[in-house]
Structure 1
């Protein structure tokens, strides 16, 4: 795992590695918010806002004061966000 630091201090390569780690992990693997944010293309502060203000946000767990996200719930969120085209040809 990449050492934790402020989101703005991660470079693009580190974010890409975090995203790759999530993509290649088993669906039950837990990840900290930084990894979840990289996978979703959001920031950890956006995920925090979603936890506090959106009842239909991403399922997460809190263990010993630490928030974790499982890949299966990140994927479920992405599936929920998919939109199908409603325009007619």
Structure 2
């Protein structure tokens, strides 16, 4: 819970800092530039994807797709075993 509160605080601090000027500078301003912002997001996504794959064992997209799939029905062998009992 403390981690979530820290994230919320960071977002509010960034918003307050960005709101002090019409055009933020530095990396915060770079995020607003089309080409630079897209590149920074791509680098972040790539790093996240690499770390996610290392920890979870699959890519974020594969994980998402597997989570969206409905549960598979029991295999025939399991059904036959239930019918015998």
Common fold: TM-score over 0.5 = no
**Higher normalized contact order (CA 8 Å, seq sep 6+, divided by chain length):** 1
State the TM-score bracket (shorter-chain normalisation): under 0.3
- TM-score (norm: length of structure 1): 0.26
